[in-house]
């Protein structure tokens, strides 16, 4: 079964292009609905325009996400940091899904209260009756029509910042600082290919050679991050950027899921002083920690990935209280 936490477990290895294929290895499908939501439906200043352009309009769109999914978790965090809660509504699915779709089993009656759907699949099929790819979160859905707009997760958060600026809160952080953008893009690319996606390459490796290659690549990147964070509070310096959001959602799941379930087990996150302090620093920052639901995260991975965990037994630990210990990075 294709895993649906942000994409089918098959496809490309870069958020914005670049294929990665290996024998017995993992391919993430990055072929999403490429529509963009922009100011006045304009051509965006950054990135490709391969689909339709939709205008920014408060109250028109609903972000459908899942607390369990690291890719959707990004969108939840960025929406909150920018203060977009009153202009973009949000629906949350439950932590598990079957081969068809994520479901709204957390809501009363098992239906999203705005869209009226039991399954996110309904929004995809409403727009594309013959849609045959993975039903992924996050997804932007037009409330009035109930149709999917886009599920292209890297651009969803990018456009929350660049295209919804008129509706940001007064204290919204500058998640994409102009003077750091070029370096930030390089950092985010490495974080995605080697860490965000790297844990999946470990977990879904089909043979020992592929696993060893994935494991080595992951820990080379983790060591690079440990060294980088020894001389700066956040990935790009003294302030939080989207690069930190993108790394955080993987770190938050590392010891609870990736260390054991995905065999990314050289050491635990708690055993890497800089990364562990950094992760706690973010967790204790408003907009981050409150989006993390460890019970849903563990339920998703250990129940949905039956090929890796056929018993579907969900581990009891680790204890989450350690995330609230002083981080010492201020």
Rounded to an integer, what distance in angstroms lies between the CA atom of residue 204 and that of residue 10? 10
| CA separation for the pair 112, 122 (Å, rounded) | 11
Strand partners, 19: 12
Determine whether 200 is an active site residue. Answer: yes
Q: Which of 117, 200, 301, 302 is the catalytic position?
A: 200
Residues in the chain: 330
Please give the sequence-ordered ranges of beta strands (E in DSSP) within 70-126, or none if there are none. Answer: 89-92
Cβ-contact 243, 187 below 8 angstroms = yes
> Using an 8 Å Cβ cutoff, are 253 and 71 in contact?
no
Residue 311's alpha-carbon distances to 161, 256, 314, in angstroms, are 42, 17, 9
Distance CA 20, CA 214 (A): 12
Q: Give the side-chain half-sphere CA count within 13 A for 24.
A: 11
Estimate to the nearest angstrom the gap between the alpha carbon of 111 and the chain centroid.
Answer: 23
Q: Count the neighbouring beta carbons within 10 Å of the beta carbon of residue 119.
A: 21
Starting at the earlier edge strand, list the strands of the sheet with 89-92: 89-92, 61-65, 139-142, 148-150
**Catalytic pick among 61, 69, 301, 302:** 69
**SS percent in the chain: helix, strand, coil, step 5:** 40, 10, 50
Q: Rounded to a whole number, what is the distance in angstroms from the first to the last CA of the chain? A: 44
H or E element that contains 62: strand 61-65
Q: How far apart are CA 155 and CA 75, in angstroms?
A: 10
- Please say whether the beta carbons of 142 and 126 come within 8 A: no
Contact (CB, 8 A) for 89 and 65 = no
Tell me the catalytic residues: 69, 200
């Amino acid at each position: 079964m294709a895993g649906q936490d942000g994409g089918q477990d098959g496809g490309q290895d870069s958020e914005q292009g670049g294929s990665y294929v290996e024998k017995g290895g993992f391919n993430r499908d990055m072929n999403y609905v490429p529509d963009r939501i922009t100011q006045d439906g304009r051509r965006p200043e950054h990135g490709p325009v391969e689909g339709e352009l939709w205008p920014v309009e408060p109250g028109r769109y609903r972000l459908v996400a899942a607390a369990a999914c690291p890719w959707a978790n990004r969108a939840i965090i960025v929406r909150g940091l920018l203060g977009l809660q009153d202009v973009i509504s949000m629906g949350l699915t439950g932590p598990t899904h079957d081969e068809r779709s994520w479901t709204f089993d957390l809501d009363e009656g098992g239906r999203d209260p705005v869209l009226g759907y039991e399954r996110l699949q309904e929004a995809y099929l409403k727009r594309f009756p013959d849609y045959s790819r993975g039903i992924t979160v996050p997804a932007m859905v037009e409330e009035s029509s109930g149709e999917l707009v886009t599920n292209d997760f890297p651009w969803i958060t990018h456009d929350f910042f660049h295209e919804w600026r008129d509706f940001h809160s007064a204290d919204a952080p500058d998640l994409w600082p102009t003077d750091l953008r070029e370096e930030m893009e390089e950092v985010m690319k490495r974080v995605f290919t080697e860490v965000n996606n790297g844990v999946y390459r470990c977990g879904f490796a089909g043979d020992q050679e592929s696993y060893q290659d994935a494991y080595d690549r992951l820990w080379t990147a983790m060591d690079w991050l440990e060294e980088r964070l020894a001389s700066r509070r956040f990935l790009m310096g003294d302030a939080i950027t989207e690069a930190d959001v993108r790394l955080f959602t993987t770190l938050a799941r590392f010891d609870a899921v990736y260390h054991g379930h995905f065999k990314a087990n050289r050491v635990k996150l708690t055993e890497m002083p800089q990364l562990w302090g950094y992760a706690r620093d973010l967790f204790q920052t408003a907009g981050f920690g409150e989006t993390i639901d460890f019970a849903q995260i563990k339920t998703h991975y250990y129940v949905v990935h039956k090929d890796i965990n056929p018993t579907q037994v969900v581990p009891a630990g680790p204890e989450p209280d350690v995330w609230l210990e002083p981080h010492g990075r201020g």
